Amino acid sequence: SQQGEEDPQALSIQEGENATMNCSYKTSINNLQWYRQNSGRGLVHLILIRSNEREKHSGRLRVTLDTSKKSSSLLITASRAADTASYFCATVSVLDMRFGAGTRLTVKP
Amino acid sequence: DSGVTQTPKHLITATGQRVTLRCSPRSGDLSVYWYQQSLDQGLQFLIQYYNGEERAKGNILERFSAQQFPDLHSELNLSSLELGDSALYFCASSVSNSPLHFGNGTRLTVT
């Protein structure tokens, strides 16, 4: 069963705009990770945020984590057509690691 | 390149058959994970091995089994295949619960 639930399921924006994807989860976690998947390829790790962290940056990516609301967001700034992909959050607990259903991002040139 | 190798890339077989998917983890990674990805079910966790031992089990059917060998490569065996088993099967590896490194998957088509 899924742990994280991404929102929205699909997002279409113009190049240069920012894209925000959200992830909600249900149980306590050790960390939360975001991955990207190009069509038909394996997932690629983007960023990890620990349960005691609130915000993390990596290049054009900004991730926030609110453990009280059990939610995280991924912001991609100044999007590019090459950012078109599916984005997944993954929650890591003591027991296991579970992925959400993903957000399909389309960036139009 | 993630360093995780999956073979074969594509597999077409008939219902009722049995197939074996193979995964070579990234050098040094002791954990191997198997995931199934289909259009309507998203990315489903199947099973995890750590250094040869089963660590966690997800939504793995009884018709499916896996193992991790002493050289750390892993195999996922799918038997009595059904049409609904058609999916992308991913293997991932990691040092522990650190970020996963995914292979490019095996696309299984059951006809």
Sequential pLDDT tens for chain A (109 residues): 456 788 889 999 999 999 999 999 998 999 999 999 998 889 999 999 999 999 999 999 999 999 999 999 999 999 999 999 999 999 988 877 888 889 999 999 9
Residues B7, B19 contacting (CB under 8 angstroms): no
Chain A residues with CB-CB distance to B50 below 8 A: none
Please indicate whether, in this complex, the C-beta atoms of B56 and A88 are within 8 angstroms of each other. Answer: no
Query: Residue written as tokens 């993954």?
Result: A90
Is A48 an 8 Å CB contact of chain B?
Answer: yes
CB contact at 8 A, A19 and A76 = yes
Which residues in chain B are contacts of A42 at CB distance < 8 A?
A: 2, 4, 90, 92, 102-105
**CA geometry: angle at B55 spanning B52 and B61, to 5°?**
100
Containing B76, the helix (H) or strand (E) segment is strand B74-78
The alpha carbon dihedral of A86, B76, A94, B41 has a sign of positive
CA–CA distance, B77 with B24 (Å, rounded to integer): 15
Q: What percent of chain B has pLDDT over 70?
A: 97
Q: What is the mean pLDDT of residues B70-97?
A: 94
How many whole angstroms separate alpha carbon B94 and alpha carbon B73? 13
Q: Could you tell me what percent of chain A has a pLDDT over 90?
A: 79
Residue B35 has pLDDT above 50, yes or no: yes
